[in-house]
Structure 1
Amino acid sequence: MGLKFESGMLRSYFIAGTQDIKDPTKTLQEVAKQAMEAGITAFQYREKGPGSLSGEKRDQLAADLRDMCADYEIPFIVDDDVDLAIKTKADGVHVGQKDERVGKVIDQVDSTMFVGLSCDTKEQVDIANQTAGISYIGSGPVFPTGSKADADPVIGVNGLATLVKESKLPVVAIGGITEENIVELPKTGVSGVSVISMIAQSDDVFRTVQVMNETFKK
């Protein structure tokens, strides 16, 4: 049994795959390790899109990152790939509305790991509220984002606050979050932020993670 879910895990939540590391002198392992050193509270492995790995290379990288998360005692979460999550004994799996049906995923992992679900409308949140087995929801994009080719329409800070109010589960914000605009988010009631490029392309990972943790103090 992996780490049990706590809402504090959502404070500074880093999502990344090899495709998100744009600096050719750095590897995903190096950036992830730096982020863990700096104090991120969760890591999600999301290997998707142009330049991403598959097969054995992906499985090996997932296993390395899984070990790293265990060393730093933070949850290792796999995006959308239940088989990979089970294979790596992940702590959690995150599912989008366009991915496998969340009910099926909950059955498959059968309480061996926690499940997160992306919700960006009131209707989706209402369904999540009534679905046993979901631990948290991810909502966004709050701001325009360049990290996801298939990003949904921007919901804005007010849209996010509405969803938080509607949700019975803790909510993590996602989408276009920067060191400048993050200050707008605590007032919405979210438990924290999940980011891709804010950390993956940061010129100072320690400063960036510090900003996230300071913005959402324990």
Structure 2
Amino acid sequence: MMNLTSEQLRQALRLYLVMGSSNCAEADPYAVLEGAIAGGITMFQFREKGANALQGQAKLELGARLRRLCAQHAVPFIVNDDERLALELEADGIHIGQEDAPAAEIRRRLKGMIVGVSAHDLGEAESALAAGADYLGVGPQYATRTKHDAREVQGPAVLERMRVGGIQLPIVGIGGIDADKARAVIRAGADGVAVVSAISQARSPREAADQLLSIISNSLGGIINDNDIKG
């Protein structure tokens, strides 16, 4: 289990792949993740949900394979809102939504794990911060077909509102983000972007990840330079 400082976590959120077997079309999820890691993803979330998602032992076995691959490359491995699975896979962390158990309770039960919380507005971000969240997943930034129960599209402006409102936690933008939209999300205040289909359904997950990471790194570099000029 990784123990990351806030700054290390900020770096780890730079390019965050969220994926399960149903997001990979006909491709092998292991091969997709392998390519994505080679392309430079900095964090991975195992989210095995949807109509065709694996269940039971098959889900556990896939999770274990992906967990080992992440460990081999020192990529933080996060489980989506399943405490038992997070423990069984010895995950580095868990990501929960607003409808899941309170972050404070999960933090007590899963000691030492990274706890990420989805937030859709400043109020939810403040509540997550008070409950001890380590980072926020903010969105949906854009329309997405990956999550059928997604909230109303927020757009990058919600990131600006959170930052102006005093939220300094590491933030990753999520929801409908691709190479064309990543720059706007970073410029609005996110430390990184979380993607699903932009990598998992790409012809080459490695090339898709490499392109996204380049855009994100350049955008973050531009923000640093702007701040230097203002200073």
TM-score above 0.5: yes
Counterpart in the other structure of 1:102: 103
- Which moves more between the two structures, 86-95 or 100-109? 100-109
Aligned length: 214
Q: C-alpha separation between the residues in 2 aligned to 1:86 and 1:2?
A: 14
Q: C-alpha separation between the residues in 1 aligned to 2:61 and 2:170?
A: 32
Q: Are positions 1:20 and 2:4 aligned together? A: no
Counterpart in the other structure of 2:161: 162
CA-CA distance at 1:86 after TM superposition: 0.8
Counterpart in the other structure of 1:199: 199
Q: C-alpha separation between the residues in 1 aligned to 2:198 and 2:3?
A: 25
Counterpart in the other structure of 2:228: none
Counterpart in the other structure of 2:13: 10
TM-score (structure 2 length as normaliser): 0.88
Where does structure 1 lack aligned partners over 5 or more consecutive residues? none
Q: C-alpha separation between the residues in 2 aligned to 1:191 and 1:168?
A: 10
User: Hey, which bits of structure 1, 4+ residues long, moved more than 4 A?
Assistant: none
Counterpart in the other structure of 1:141: 140
Do the aligned residues in 1 keep the contact of 2:13 with 2:191 (CA within 8 Å)? Answer: yes
Counterpart in the other structure of 2:115: 115
CA-CA distance at 1:81 after TM superposition: 0.4
Q: What is the root-mean-square deviation of aligned Cα atoms in Å?
A: 1.4
Counterpart in the other structure of 1:173: 173
SS of alignment partner, residue 193 of structure 2: strand
Give the aligned residue type for 2:114.
F
CA-CA distance at 1:3 after TM superposition: 4.3
Do the aligned residues in 2 keep the contact of 1:80 with 1:93 (CA within 8 Å)? Answer: yes
CA-CA distance at 1:204 after TM superposition: 2.4
SS of alignment partner, residue 156 of structure 2: helix
TM-score (structure 1 length as normaliser): 0.94
Counterpart in the other structure of 2:54: 53
Do the aligned residues in 1 keep the contact of 2:37 with 2:206 (CA within 8 Å)? Answer: no
Do the aligned residues in 2 keep the contact of 1:8 with 1:191 (CA within 8 Å)? Answer: yes
Where does structure 2 lack aligned partners over 5 or more consecutive residues? 221-231
| Partner deviation per Cα, 1:54-87 (whole Å, 9 max, x = no partner) | 1111011111111000011110100000111111
Do the aligned residues in 1 keep the contact of 2:179 with 2:215 (CA within 8 Å)? Answer: no
The alignment-based identity, stated in percent, is: 32
Do the aligned residues in 1 keep the contact of 2:19 with 2:45 (CA within 8 Å)? Answer: yes
